[in-house]
Structure 1
Amino acid sequence: MLENMVCLGTTSRPAAPRQRVMWEKPPVGWMKVNTDAAFVSATGDRAGGAVVRNSQGEIVKATANFYKHLPDVLTSEALAARDGVMLAQELGVEQVILELDNSTLVTLLRSEDGGHCAIAGLWQEIRERSRVFGSYQISFVKREGNAVAHLCASKASASSPLLSWSGCFPIWLMEAASKDCNNPVLE
């Protein structure tokens, strides 16, 4: 009887199928700036990537930057976010959604208390730079929905510390963006 009770309590439910998180297009008239950081395991250095896409899902511009000697993941994520905001400024974008996969950074950037944290200088710079936009939002996306920004970050290295793509994009970037939103990305 005891064995039957134990067996009754161990009925396992099949795991719910995991839905793939896709990148979502911004509303018409908005641009979405996805940023992410990548860790360079061979050296311990980090890199950041930023991708700007329009409401049709088309890549407008993408960059990757190599960062040396950063203390932690939060700092590298914040640098990537700053680079993404600067990229949107450079493009003259008016309505921006900054989308990140680091929930700690999203919470900090949305708060008024970021001036007392380890990345206070970057927090302040991102906030100041974002004031030039007519409309600005910060959103969180799961890592799978931010794959293109991460892929861009992975391309930067000590020998190629600053990479930028616009107009004509590499095939790997176009393919990743197309898969990312289940939608062909046009040049």
Structure 2
Amino acid sequence: MQHVFQVYTREKLAWIAIVCWNLWNRRNKWLWDKVNVSAFGVQSTAVSMKTEWDKAQHEKKVVKPAVSATGRRWIRLPQGWVKINVDAVTFTANGSIGLGSVIRNEDGTFVGARSKKMEVLLHPREAEAVSLNEALSWTKELGFKQCIFETDAKLVVDAINKAQGCAFFIL
């Protein structure tokens, strides 16, 4: 791989990465969902992705906004704090869920990541709640005391904050 990175141009490396990703994605679709993607489908998706990537690279050079389109930007955490991003996915075809967490320190430096597959079929909100619970246990094991947890699961956040709806989940 080192030879490939030294010899090929950035353009050629982008093609290699996109084709490899599409082949890996095809394999996963077959393995997890028993969906067969044709070689033409892999090629077609790769061409579309490369076109989008080229467009994004051009736009990146032209426009550099100070903050993102949503108005959000990274804010340094207080000294000694960590931020844990949590997410989950459900695989209804094989009755399982995937959980993941990433920890970064106050500088945004990667501290650790963890993932787990569980052979249980849950609704997405329950999977998100289980993922948060696993992240809480993990940070406790690691001895972190000052933590900020971030998730995209609004229903879970609302339930924790008792903003609306039920504050319990049936597992």
Query: Please, what TM-score do these two structures have when normalized by structure 1?
Result: 0.47
Do the aligned residues in 2 keep the contact of 1:67 with 1:76 (CA within 8 Å)?
no
Give the number of the structure whose residues are more often strand, by fraction. 1
- Quote how far apart the aligned CAs of 1:22 are: 5.7
- Quote how far apart the aligned CAs of 1:43 are: 2.1
Q: Distance in 1 between matches of 2:153 and 2:89?
A: 12
Give the number of the structure whose residues are more often helix, by fraction. 2
Residue 35 of structure 1 is matched in structure 2 by 86
Q: Distance in 2 between matches of 1:56 and 1:86?
A: 23
When the two chains are superposed, the root-mean-square deviation of aligned CA atoms in Å is 2.9
Q: Is 1:76 the counterpart of 2:107 in the alignment?
A: no
Do the aligned residues in 1 keep the contact of 2:97 with 2:121 (CA within 8 Å)?
yes
Q: Distance in 2 between matches of 1:41 and 1:113?
A: 27
User: Which of 6, 19, 23 pairs up with 2:69?
Assistant: 19
Residue 89 of structure 1 is matched in structure 2 by 140
Q: Is 1:98 the counterpart of 2:149 in the alignment?
A: yes
Residue 110 of structure 1 is matched in structure 2 by 161
What residue identity is the alignment partner of 2:106? S
Greater Rg, structure 1 or structure 2? 2
Q: Which has the higher contact order (CA 8 A, sep 6+)?
A: 1
- Quote how far apart the aligned CAs of 1:24 are: 4.8
Do the aligned residues in 1 keep the contact of 2:90 with 2:123 (CA within 8 Å)?
no
Distance 1:28-1:73 versus aligned 2 partners, 3 A rule: same
Distance 1:95-1:19 versus aligned 2 partners, 3 A rule: same
Q: Distance in 1 between matches of 2:79 and 2:156?
A: 26
Residue 134 of structure 1 is matched in structure 2 by none
What residue identity is the alignment partner of 1:93? F
What residue identity is the alignment partner of 2:135? G
Residue 51 of structure 1 is matched in structure 2 by 102
- Quote how far apart the aligned CAs of 1:98 are: 1.1
Distance 1:19-1:112 versus aligned 2 partners, 3 A rule: closer
Structure 1, gaps ≥5 residues long:
1-16, 122-187
Secondary structure in structure 1 of the residue aligned to 2:116 = strand
Do the aligned residues in 2 keep the contact of 1:25 with 1:54 (CA within 8 Å)?
no
